[in-house]
């Protein structure tokens, strides 16, 4: 049993939500209770797979799964390394919280909500797991197609317009992705990332220009997903118009872009290959400027949802900066910051559902209302402190490690000053909006709808802060693994297909 | 040589028309533009397996077993996936476009720009 699980672990986070979606489609919304059970089974399987994946990769095992039993550069391979394990567990956790919140507020009675939710999880998990560039494109499309449907839940005029922008920019992004992937295939003759990582260093000089342009187009696509500067204006409007439990899940989607950028800079164009330096430099200019622009956007926002949207942009650009710095310290800090900032963004979005509720409802009694304000306010502070990276919570630890990594880079002044200035502006923005909301009570509160899931997220942030040392040790090892692409190459390309045992019935004529 | 030039020009024209139409910011033009762009991209994927005239992508009896005698089958498989996905996405976009047209009463992509001047 354990042996079977070890062999088939990498496919489980893709298969579980896929079958969940299929069953949820069969039972349809009329039968909401069965749908909920199906969704919970799928999410529980994902959580189990996430914990198991962390446990397995902590032993230094990099699992590779050959789809259809084809050997690596010819078929599609899934690879489960430490980065993927972290992302799988984080996805499963956020999904569980978002599902809980959606069921609590009856959002999941929307049209095809549960199947779309499951398919989106399948796309996100697949994008983290796959080691094949074209398969990454397919999983991107799966998660995007599901997100279009999720975005149009309870749709009104503003949502339809936000969705139009979102769909169009992502379709352009898909076209660019296809160009980049096929260009890389035309130059190197392979689409497997581990194989690309080998072939990119042995290219003849006349194809360097093509491979480099393919790399930059690829970065552009991932920059759309990670919302880097000229390509980030879709995010705030889109996320603000999503139903809030959905927005909590969407906080993961920028991280898919960030992880894809990590793969590009550490695996496809590894440290020391010809494209790496140029790409890192461009990112090190664009990402810090994005950070500053996001902080200015946060300062200018008058609504909580817009503010959170800008801080999602800010944290994604912070991560990209750290990835582009590229040394082990910055990468490890980035992974740690990624966990905290994703949880914080989900927390803030869920919490916002209590604050932004319609003010027409009369408040029920001063005492009860005060207690709700205290709850919602405390949770807001926890989310804001983590998102802006103030001590003592986990955002600060991640940011400090990233700064330590930036100090070792050749541009320490530029990077550190941008990170610190953007951080300060974010603190001012959160403090200003927070004091307007909670001290002047410039909003109504709706019975603190999502206190339990939000408090669970806050507990996770507390856990992340208290157990920072062991988690940091794991991300340190993950960063070293990422900095050594030969581990991925040897495991993926060295994986042999399972020998087929010819059963007697097949031998018979 | 002339075949390569013709194909490259064709892809270029499709992509240029597509980008021009996308930038027109009318929803129907945008849909058409995205369709043209995806045609260009599909051709691009197809020809990244190199142009081959009169060669099959499947091993045949009597044809020597070397790469020069066959067309690359992988881009043909990739382009099939890309066509299906872009077809599905265009359908989704059309549904949203119709919805946006009903909601807004006009077909401009940025409804804010026109609404703010009206208010």
DSSP for A37-101 reads: HHHHHHHHHHHHHHHHHHHHHHTT--EEEEGGG--TTTS-EEEE-HHHHHHHHHHHHHHHHHHHH
Residue of B nearest to A155 (CA): B99
Q: Would you tell me how many other CB atoms lie within 10 Å of the CB of residue B98?
A: 12
Residues in chain B, how many?
Answer: 119
Who wins on pLDDT, B9 or B99? B9
Alpha helices by DSSP H, A301-442: 304-325, 328-355, 366-388, 394-407, 412-438
Query: Do the Cβ atoms of A178 and B89 come within 8 Å?
Result: no
Q: What is the mean pLDDT of residues B8-12?
A: 94
DSSP B50-115: ---SS--SS--TTS-SSGGGS--HHHHHHHHHHHHHHHHHHHHHHHHHHHHHHHHSS-BS-HHHHH
Distance CA A318, CA A262 (A): 13
Q: What is the pLDDT of residue A448?
A: 52
Structure-token pair, residue A422: 């953007």
CA separation for the pair A396, A4 (Å, rounded): 41
Give residue A237's pLDDT.
80
Q: Indicate if the pLDDT at residue B117 is higher than 80.
A: no
pLDDT at B110 over 80: no
Judge whether A191 and A132 are in contact, CB under 8 Å. Answer: yes
Interface-testing mutation among A143, A178, A184, A187, with chain B (most B C-beta atoms within 10 A): A178
Residue at token pair 């005029």: A157
Please give the Cα distance from A211 to A323 (Å, whole number).
21
Higher model confidence: residue A153 or residue B19? B19
Question: What single-letter DSSP state applies at residue A203?
Answer: -
Nearest CA in chain A to B47: A186
Q: Is the pLDDT of residue A319 over 60?
A: yes
Do B74 and A152 make contact, defined as CB atoms within 8 angstroms?
no
Closest CB to B45: pick one of A164, A165, A178: A178
pLDDT band at A49 (very low <50, low <70, confident <90, very high): very high
The residue among A75, A158, A168, A169 with the most chain B CBs within 10 A of its CB, best to mutate, is A168
Residue A357 has pLDDT above 60, yes or no: no
**Model confidence pLDDT, tens digit, residues A362-389:** 444 444 566 777 888 888 899 999 999 8
Judged by DSSP in three states, A263 sits in: helix
Contact residues, chain A, for B44 at CB < 8 Å: 178-179, 182
Predicted pLDDT at A503: 57
Q: What is the pLDDT of residue A500?
A: 72
pLDDT given at position A445: 66
| B45/A152 touch (CB, cutoff 8 Å), yes or no | no
B74–A161 CB contact, under 8 Å: no
Q: How far apart are CA A58 and CA A35, in angstroms?
A: 35
Mean pLDDT, to the nearest integer, of A238-253? 84
Does residue A237 or residue A195 have the better pLDDT? A195
| Nearest-CB residue to A164 (from B42, B82, B96) | B96
Distance of residue A38 Cα from the nearest chain B Cα, in angstroms: 27
Of A145, A161, A185, nearest to B75 by CB-CB distance is A185
**Nearest residue to B94 (alpha-carbon basis) of A340, A163, A434, A66:** A163
Choice among A62-71, A472-481, A486-495, B108-117 with the minimum mean pLDDT: B108-117
Q: What is the C-alpha to C-alpha distance for residues A508 and B105, in angstroms, rounded to an integer? A: 70
Tell me the percentage of chain A whose pLDDT exceeds 70.
Answer: 94
Q: Is A130 helix (H, G, I), strand (E, B) or coil?
A: strand
pLDDT digits (tens, 9 = 90+) for A85-140: 999 999 999 999 999 988 888 777 777 889 999 999 999 999 999 999 999 999 99
Rounded to an integer, the average pLDDT of A160-181 is 91
A129-168 pLDDT, tens digit per residue, is 999 999 999 999 999 999 988 888 777 777 888 888 889 9
Task: Please indicate whether, in this complex, the C-beta atoms of A138 and B111 are within 8 angstroms of each other.
Answer: no
Reported as a pLDDT band with limits 50, 70 and 90, residue A352 is confident
The residue with tokens 């096929």 is A182
Q: Which residues contact A185 (CB under 8 A, 6 or more apart)?
A: A134, A191, B48, B49, B74, B75, B78
Question: Residue B82 and residue A178: Cβ atoms within 8 Å?
Answer: yes
User: Residue A19 and residue B102: Cα distance in Å, rounded?
Assistant: 36
- Alpha-carbon dihedral of residues A357, A359, A364, A369, nearest 10 degrees? 60
Please tell me the distance from the alpha carbon of residue A143 to that of residue A141, in angstroms, as a whole number: 5
Q: Peptide bond preceding A392: is omega within 30 degrees of 0, i.e. cis?
A: yes
- A421 contact partners, CB below 8 Å, separation of at least 6: A292, A295
Distance from CA of B2 to the nearest CA of A (A): 20
Which residues in chain B touch residue A181, judged by CB atoms under 8 angstroms apart?
A: 45, 78
* pLDDT score for A98: 92
Q: Which residue has the tokens 């352009």?
A: A172
- The predicted structure's pLDDT at residue A158: 77
Predicted pLDDT of residue B118: 44
Q: Find the mean pLDDT for residues A482-504.
A: 83
ipTM: 0.92
């Amino acid at each position: 049993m354990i042996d079977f699980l070890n062999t088939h672990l990498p496919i489980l986070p893709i298969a579980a939500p896929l079958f969940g979606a299929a069953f949820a489609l069969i039972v349809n919304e009329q039968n909401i209770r069965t749908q909920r059970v199906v969704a919970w089974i799928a999410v529980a399987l994902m959580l189990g797979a996430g914990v198991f994946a962390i446990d397995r990769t902590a032993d230094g095992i990099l699992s590779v799964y050959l789809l259809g039993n084809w050997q690596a550069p010819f078929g599609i391979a899934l690879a489960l390394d430490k980065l993927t394990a972290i992302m799988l567990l984080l996805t499963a956790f956020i999904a569980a919280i978002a599902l809980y919140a959606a069921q609590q507020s009856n959002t999941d009675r929307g049209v095809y909500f549960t199947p779309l939710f499951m398919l989106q999880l399948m796309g996100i998990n697949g994008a983290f797991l796959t080691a094949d560039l074209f398969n990454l494109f397919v999983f991107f499309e799966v998660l995007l197609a599901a997100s279009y449907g999720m975005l149009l839940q309870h749709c009104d005029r503003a949502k339809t317009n936000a969705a139009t922008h979102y769909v169009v920019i992502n379709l352009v992004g898909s076209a660019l992705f296809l160009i980049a992937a096929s260009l890389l295939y035309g130059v190197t003759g392979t689409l497997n990332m581990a194989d690309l990582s080998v072939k990119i260093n042995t290219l003849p000089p006349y194809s360097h220009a093509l491979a480099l342009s393919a790399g930059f187009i690829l970065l552009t696509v991932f920059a759309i997903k990670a919302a880097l500067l000229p390509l980030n204006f879709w995010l705030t409007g889109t996320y603000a118009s999503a139903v809030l439990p959905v927005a909590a899940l969407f906080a993961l989607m920028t991280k898919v872009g960030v992880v894809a950028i990590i793969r590009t800079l550490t695996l496809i164009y590894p440290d020391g290959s010809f494209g790496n330096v140029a790409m890192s430099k461009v990112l090190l200019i664009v990402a810090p400027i994005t950070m500053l622009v996001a902080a200015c956007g946060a300062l200018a926002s008058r609504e909580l949802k817009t503010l959170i949207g800008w801080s999602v942009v800010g944290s994604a650009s912070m991560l990209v900066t750290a990835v582009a710095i590229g040394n082990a310290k910055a990468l490890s800090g980035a992974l740690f910051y990624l966990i905290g900032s994703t949880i914080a963004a989900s927390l803030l979005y869920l919490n916002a559902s209590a604050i932004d509720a319609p003010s027409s409802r009369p408040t029920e009694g001063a005492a009860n209302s005060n207690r709700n304000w205290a709850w919602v306010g405390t949770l807001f502070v926890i989310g804001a402190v983590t998102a802006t990276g103030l001590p003592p919570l986990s955002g600060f630890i991640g940011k400090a490690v990233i700064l330590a990594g930036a100090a070792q880079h050749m541009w320490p002044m530029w990077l550190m000053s941008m990170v610190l200035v953007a951080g300060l502006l974010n603190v001012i923005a959160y403090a200003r909006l927070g004091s307007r909301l909670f001290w002047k009570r410039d909003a109504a509160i709706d019975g603190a709808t999502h206190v339990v899931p939000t408090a669970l997220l806050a507990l996770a942030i507390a856990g992340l802060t208290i157990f920072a040392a062991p988690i940091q040790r794991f991300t340190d090892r993950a960063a070293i693994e990422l900095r050594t692409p030969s581990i991925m190459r040897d495991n993926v390309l060295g994986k042999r297909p399972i020998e087929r045992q010819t059963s007697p019935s097949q031998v018979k004529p | 040589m002339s075949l390569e030039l013709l194909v490259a020009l064709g892809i270029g024209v499709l992509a240029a028309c597509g980008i021009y139409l996308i930038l027109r910011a009318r929803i129907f033009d945008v849909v058409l533009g995205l369709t043209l762009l995806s045609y260009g991209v599909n051709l691009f994927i197809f020809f990244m397996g190199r142009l081959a005239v009169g060669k099959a992508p499947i091993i045949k009896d009597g044809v020597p077993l070397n790469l020069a005698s066959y067309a690359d089958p992988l881009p043909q498989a990739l382009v099939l996936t890309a066509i299906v996905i872009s077809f599905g996405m265009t359908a989704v976009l059309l549904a949203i476009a119709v919805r946006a047209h009903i909601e807004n009463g006009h077909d401009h992509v940025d409804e804010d720009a026109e609404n703010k001047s009206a208010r």
